[in-house]
């Protein structure tokens, strides 16, 4: 038996209430442990001190005072009306339902607070969903990716943005030119190039070059762009995009340098 276990039994050991096996184990430990023997000596000294304390006399009116208080309480209970069934039920339910009621009110308060905090975000998400609904209309009509894109379909897919920027005519020369700049050709190598131009777009989808903000290094790139504007209708009509009849558009056109041939 160790010191910690023995210390837990010393009070009972001094009071002589331990079982015989436990007392024998404590005696064996005390024979070889002077620290625990000192603890036993302190317990015995404290016990002698407590036994030598004088007892305070009981006040002579203590018994009569307790009896009087009990009679008064009994008389008050007899005179008070009996509680109704509803009052008894309330007394029984109050300590049981109070924690659940407070927890439920706290949960409702937290939910309302969180909903109020996230309400602007929900409104923004809903607005974005309404704006993008037109972009998903193609899937509902069973649009076939293997078929050419028509101006109507392409304009419908850009419905949320068509009012700010006109949609390219997917069948026009300008769309073909911009696609050619990013289409790799294994037999022809051309340096990458870019330019920034301004074009005026009219209600029927035609356009004209208005200004060159950044000219390309290869002047042929700018000539091809102007030719594509004149060759065919570059944009869809304004009625499809639901945009103003005349718009000024800034174009950033890039020609991609692709040297790989393993694709």
H or E stretch covering 54? none
User: Is residue 168 within 8 Å of residue 234, measured between CB atoms?
Assistant: yes
Give the separation between CA 161 and CA 182, rounded to whole angstroms: 23
DSSP secondary-structure letter at 167? P
Amino acid 200: pLDDT: 92
DSSP H helices in 33-84: 34-51, 62-79
DSSP-assigned beta bridge partners for residue 248: 200
* Residue 256, φ and ψ in degrees, nearest 5: -90, 135
DSSP-assigned beta bridge partners for residue 201: 207, 247
Q: 193-201 and 207-214 as β-strands: parallel, antiparallel, unpaired?
A: antiparallel
Give the separation between CA 178 and CA 139, rounded to whole angstroms: 26
Q: Which of 181, 157, 160 is nearest to 168 (CA)?
A: 157
Give the separation between CA 181 and CA 193, rounded to whole angstroms: 9
Give mean pLDDT in consecutive 10-residue pieces for the chain, a chain of 263 residues. Answer: 85 88 90 89 88 79 86 82 78 68 74 78 70 47 62 81 83 83 56 86 90 89 88 88 87 71 49
What is the pTM for the complete model shown? 0.41
Give the separation between CA 28 and CA 5, rounded to whole angstroms: 13
On the CB side of 65, CA atoms within 13 Å amount to 5
User: Is residue 135 within 8 Å of residue 158, measured between CB atoms?
Assistant: yes
Give the separation between CA 10 and CA 42, rounded to whole angstroms: 10
H or E stretch covering 247? strand 247-255
H or E stretch covering 96? helix 85-132
Two tokens at 219?
Answer: 């002047």
């Amino acid at each position: 038996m160790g010191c910690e276990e023995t210390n837990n039994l010393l009070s009972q050991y001094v009071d002589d209430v331990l079982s015989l096996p436990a007392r024998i184990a404590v005696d064996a430990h005390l024979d070889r442990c002077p620290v625990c023997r000192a603890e036993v000596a302190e317990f015995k000294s404290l016990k002698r001190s407590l036994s030598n304390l004088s007892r305070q006399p009981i006040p002579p009116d203590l018994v009569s005072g307790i009896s009087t208080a009990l009679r008064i309480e009994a008389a008050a209970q007899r005179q008070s009306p009996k509680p109704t069934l509803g009052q008894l039920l309330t007394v029984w339910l109050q300590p049981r339902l109070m924690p659940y009621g407070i927890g439920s009110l706290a949960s409702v308060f937290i939910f309302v607070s969180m909903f109020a905090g996230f309400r602007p975000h929900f409104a923004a998400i809903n607005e974005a969903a309404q704006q993008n609904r037109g972009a998903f209309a193609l899937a509902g009509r069973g649009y076939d990716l293997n078929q050419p894109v028509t101006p109507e379909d392409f304009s419908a897919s850009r419905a949320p943005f068509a009012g700010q920027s006109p949609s390219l005519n997917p069948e026009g020369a300008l769309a073909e030119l911009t696609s050619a700049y990013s289409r790799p050709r294994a037999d022809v190598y051309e340096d990458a190039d870019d330019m920034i131009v301004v074009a005026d777009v009219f209600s029927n989808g035609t356009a004209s070059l208005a200004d060159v903000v950044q000219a390309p290094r290869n002047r042929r790139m700018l000539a091809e762009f102007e030719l594509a504007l004149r060759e065919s209708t570059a944009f869809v009509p304004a009625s499809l995009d639901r945009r103003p009849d005349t718009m000024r558009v800034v174009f950033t056109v890039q020609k991609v340098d692709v040297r790989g041939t393993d694709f």
